[in-house]
């Protein structure tokens, strides 16, 4: 059975397997949220993050627990002003998703899905929209 949705409005948020696996986590802070994932262990748990409030200052980040973990997958972001989509693959060292509310996404309705597929590996799928000169939300910062 799926978990109840979790509403996050604090500036920091630490994800735990028992409380958040299978739940939709709604990120509702215009000033951004620093989200930290649990260590990837290969349990197959799914973590879903929904942007409920557009980021208007700072940024929202979703980061792995330590430099031992990486994210593998892609980001698909709709471009403003037309019917086009930008796509970015993760790099070998990707460990962070950043939404800035404009160029990298973080608009209300954007979505991140992370699946704990193996020890040290998260499968990542980002879908969203961006404005201006669109850029990848995927990076290595941990």
Question: Tell me, what's the pLDDT at 1?
Answer: 52
Considering the entire predicted model, what is its pTM? 0.96
Quickly count: other Cβ atoms within 10 Å of residue 68's Cβ. 12
Render 27-39 in DSSP notation, one character per residue.
Answer: E--TT--EEEPPP
Share of the chain above pLDDT 90, in %: 94
Residues 6+ apart with CB under 8 A from 81: none
Q: For the segment 59-118, what is each residue's pLDDT rounded down to a tens digit?
A: 999 999 999 999 999 999 999 866 899 999 999 999 999 999 999 999 999 999 999 999
Question: Tell me, what's the pLDDT at 3?
Answer: 79
Question: Tell me, what's the pLDDT at 83?
Answer: 85
Contact predicate 63/36, CB 8 Å:
yes
Question: Tell me, what's the pLDDT at 43?
Answer: 97
The mean pLDDT value of the chain amounts to 96
Question: Tell me, what's the pLDDT at 81?
Answer: 67
The average pLDDT across 17-40 equals 97
The average pLDDT across 21-33 equals 97
Report which of 38, 33, 36 is spatially closest to residue 18, judged by C-alpha positions: 38
Would you put residue 72 in left (φ > 0), alpha (ψ -120 to 50) or beta? beta
Is residue 2 over pLDDT 80? no
Give the CB-side neighbour count of residue 6, counting CA atoms within 13 A.
19
- pLDDT band of 29, cuts 50, 70, 90: very high
């Amino acid at each position: 059975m799926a978990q109840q949705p979790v509403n996050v409005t604090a500036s920091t948020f630490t994800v735990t397997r028992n409380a958040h696996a299978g739940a939709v986590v709604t990120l509702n802070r215009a000033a951004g949220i620093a989200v930290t994932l649990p260590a990837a262990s290969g349990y197959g748990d799914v973590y879903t993050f929904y942007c409920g409030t557009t980021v208007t200052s700072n940024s929202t980040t979703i980061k792995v627990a330590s430099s031992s973990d990486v994210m593998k997958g892609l980001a698909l972001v709709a471009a403003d002003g037309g019917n086009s989509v930008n796509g970015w693959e993760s790099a070998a060292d990707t460990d962070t998703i950043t939404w800035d509310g404009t160029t990298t996404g973080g608009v209300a309705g954007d979505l991140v899905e992370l699946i704990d597929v193996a020890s040290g590996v998260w499968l990542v799928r980002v879908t969203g929209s961006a404005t201006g000169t669109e850029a990848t939300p995927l990076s290595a910062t941990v």
